[in-house]
Amino acid sequence: MTIANKASRAPKKLSMKQRYQVLTRDLDWEPTYVDPKDVFPHTEFEGITIHDWSKWEDPFRLTVDAYCKYQAEKDKRLYAVLDGFAQSQGHLTLTDASYLNAMKLFLQGVTPLEYQAHRNFAYLARHLNGPGPRFASLCQSIDELRHTQTEIHTLSNDNKYYSGFHNFQQMHDRVWYLSVPKSFFGDALASGPFEFLIAIGFSFEYLLTNLLFVPFMSGASFNGDLPTMTFGFSAQSDESRHMTLGLEAIKFLLEQDEANVPTVQAWIDKWFWRGYRVTALIAQMLDYMLPRKVMSWKEAFELYFEEQMLKGLFADLAFYGITPPRHVEDAIAEKEILSHQVYWTLYQFSHAAAFTTSVPTAEHEKWLAETYPETFDKLYKELWDKERENIAGGGRHFVRGLPQLCQVCQIPMLFTEPGDPTTICQRESEFKGEKFQTCSNGCQWIFEREPEKYVQAWLPVHQIYQGSCGGPTVPDVLAWYGVQEGDSGEHRGSLDDRRWQEWHADSVKEGN
């Protein structure tokens, strides 16, 4: 018997790269007594060909312990900020209570999407054949769940003092304007795994992330919302990993087989327009909801989309035969009018929403006219002037009825003809003898590509008329939405506005 040298028995410490290798590749095996097609049954029906899953490169090479350590550190920092803000009544230092309309939209419209993303990345973590993309999807799935939780936790402080935060999940499932983001994500969830990767991993997380997610965080930092800003920072390192996953996914599909290129191009065409239509809500948020402006929608679109994506990303993707998305010219042509048209719509339907709206102040109008010199004074100022007269006469523009909705994006049919900002764009298609209207060339193209999918759309207006939404009257529907007094309508004189004035009058009295 020999006694082993003590030093040689000590476990060898593996490098991070080795540990990643062990975790992803060594825990994977080729099935021998089950057909691989039965193990991974969802990766062939979309018509994508993958020759070699091992070619997937995960540039981050995270391991479970490293992942948990980073996330725990970030959470600690975030929760310290949340505590400090809550204890010091930080909400009183926001620019105005009306700023929180942007956060209501975020909690109602975006946070539930994080949870949906968590679910589908968990599905990819099981169903993709390669161990590299499975582990990357697992990390993203956990990230998305963490984002859901931290966003809810961050904004729960606002729920103690303000309206519109109390019932976001039910609202997301039921309220008309939230069917826009919900149906967008539902469309992706109902796709195959590769289309989902292009829809969410690439289009949502890469192509449009600076127009979808970042504007809320920048808006928070400009309006004194330290907790949301900190949440944004906390999510940022995850988001850069998600962007890399999205980019890696598209390159992987394109490099695996040339026959994948037309399929991927069609998904880019579809998901660019689907995502772009969701950004309509962000456009109005940037230009109308933030008391202190970060940048205009037009500037954001030019910088983050035209400069960075069209001139940067698509120049790179041209190597693979990928061209800029179909209908991108229509999106570019809308940048001067989009936010005005959308806010005018939300303004006149805010009696049925869970946020509040107001006529822009003189100072705000001046900014709009300077920022949009070609369009604001010419097309939209007269509407607000007429509304001021209407209010002076005792009115307030709330539409008495329900709008026509686009069958694909589900936004009221408010968008105008390319090149003619005064004529509403009406497109009509027929499928199995039934008419379906869409708001744009982009949405019509998407409908006609897969009509069987979009005929199933749960359009809020049609559902109200079918009697599925609590009853026929506005109060019936609002009760079914879970909307309470103070959540909706005009901001000036609203519950939030009155409380805000009261709290600040108290601080003036106390000499604070």
CB closer to another protein, 169 vs 429: 429
Kindly tell me which residue out of 14, 39, 45, 259 binds another protein, with binding defined by CB under 8 A: 45
CB closer to another protein, 26 vs 450: 450
Q: Which of 393, 400, 406, 479 is nearest to 437 (CA)?
A: 406
Q: What tokens appear for 153 in the block?
A: 């936790």
Cβ at position 258, least distance to another protein in Å: 19
Kindly tell me which residue out of 5, 32, 422, 512 binds another protein, with binding defined by CB under 8 A: 422
39 binds another protein (CB under 8 A): no
Cβ at position 452, least distance to another protein in Å: 5
Kindly tell me which residue out of 42, 364, 492, 504 binds another protein, with binding defined by CB under 8 A: 42
Q: Which of residues 254-293 bind another protein (CB under 8 A)?
A: none
Number of Cβ within 10 Å of residue 61's Cβ equals 17
C-alpha to C-alpha distance for 69 and 74, rounded to whole angstroms: 9
Q: What tokens appear for 401 in the block?
A: 């009825």
Residues in binding contact with another protein, number by CB under 8 A? 53
The answer to whether 232 and 217 are in contact (CB under 8 A) is yes
Q: How many residues does the chain have?
A: 512
What are the φ and ψ backbone dihedral angles of 128, each rounded to 5 degrees? -75, 145
420 binds another protein (CB under 8 A): no
Q: First vs last Cα of the chain: how many Å apart?
A: 82
Q: Exposed/middle/buried for 89, CB within 10 Å: 0-12, 13-18, 19+?
A: exposed
Q: Any residues with CB less than 8 A from the CB of 427 and at least 6 apart, and which?
A: 437, 438, 439, 440, 441, 443, 444
What is the per-residue binding string for another protein in 293-332, x denoting contact by CB under 8 A?
A: ----------------------------------------
C-alpha to C-alpha distance for 424 and 431, rounded to whole angstroms: 23
Cβ at position 462, least distance to another protein in Å: 4
3-state DSSP assignment of residue 296: coil
Beta-carbon-side half-sphere exposure of residue 183 (alpha carbons within 13 Å): 25
Say which DSSP state 11 is in. P
The answer to whether 57 and 214 are in contact (CB under 8 A) is no
Q: Which of residues 184-203 bind another protein (CB under 8 A)?
A: 192
Cβ at position 190, least distance to another protein in Å: 9
Task: Please state whether beta strands 416-417 and 489-490 pair in parallel, antiparallel, or not at all (unpaired).
Answer: unpaired
Q: Which of residues 449-488 bind another protein (CB under 8 A)?
A: 449-450, 452-453, 455-459, 461-462, 465-466
Cβ at position 456, least distance to another protein in Å: 5
CB closer to another protein, 307 vs 428: 428
Q: Which of residues 330-349 bind another protein (CB under 8 A)?
A: 341, 344-345, 348
Q: Any residues with CB less than 8 A from the CB of 370 and at least 6 apart, and which?
A: none
38 binds another protein (CB under 8 A): no
Cβ at position 132, least distance to another protein in Å: 24
Q: C-alpha angle 102/105/110, rounded to 5°?
A: 120
Cβ at position 208, least distance to another protein in Å: 24
What is the per-residue binding string for another protein in 373-402, x denoting contact by CB under 8 A?
A: ------x---x--x--xx--x-x-xxxxxx
Cβ at position 389, least distance to another protein in Å: 7
C-alpha to C-alpha distance for 67 and 401, rounded to whole angstroms: 51
Q: Any residues with CB less than 8 A from the CB of 502 and at least 6 apart, and which?
A: none
Kindly tell me which residue out of 254, 405, 409, 478 binds another protein, with binding defined by CB under 8 A: 405
| Partner residues linked to 489 by β-bridges | 356
CB closer to another protein, 140 vs 345: 345
What are the φ and ψ backbone dihedral angles of 58, each rounded to 5 degrees? -105, 100
The answer to whether 43 and 256 are in contact (CB under 8 A) is no
C-alpha to C-alpha distance for 148 and 468, rounded to whole angstroms: 29
Cβ at position 422, least distance to another protein in Å: 7
Cβ at position 398, least distance to another protein in Å: 8
Task: Please state whether beta strands 434-438 and 427-431 pair in parallel, antiparallel, or not at all (unpaired).
Answer: antiparallel
CB closer to another protein, 214 vs 283: 283
CB closer to another protein, 31 vs 395: 395
Cβ at position 175, least distance to another protein in Å: 17
The amino acid sitting at 280 is A
Tell me which stretch binds another protein (CB under 8 A): 31-39, 196-204, 251-259, 425-433. Answer: 425-433
What is the per-residue binding string for another protein in 46-85, x denoting contact by CB under 8 A?
A: xx--------------------------------------
CB closer to another protein, 124 vs 155: 124
Tell me which stretch binds another protein (CB under 8 A): 227-235, 301-309, 326-334, 416-424. Answer: 416-424
> Where is 422: in which H helix or E strand?
strand 420-424
C-alpha to C-alpha distance for 77 and 134, rounded to whole angstroms: 29
Cβ at position 351, least distance to another protein in Å: 11
403 binds another protein (CB under 8 A): yes
432 binds another protein (CB under 8 A): yes
- Which positions touch another protein (CB under 8 A)? 41-42, 45-47, 192, 341, 344-345, 348, 379, 383, 386, 389-390, 393, 395, 397-405, 412-414, 422-424, 426, 428, 431-432, 434-437, 449-450, 452-453, 455-459, 461-462, 465-466
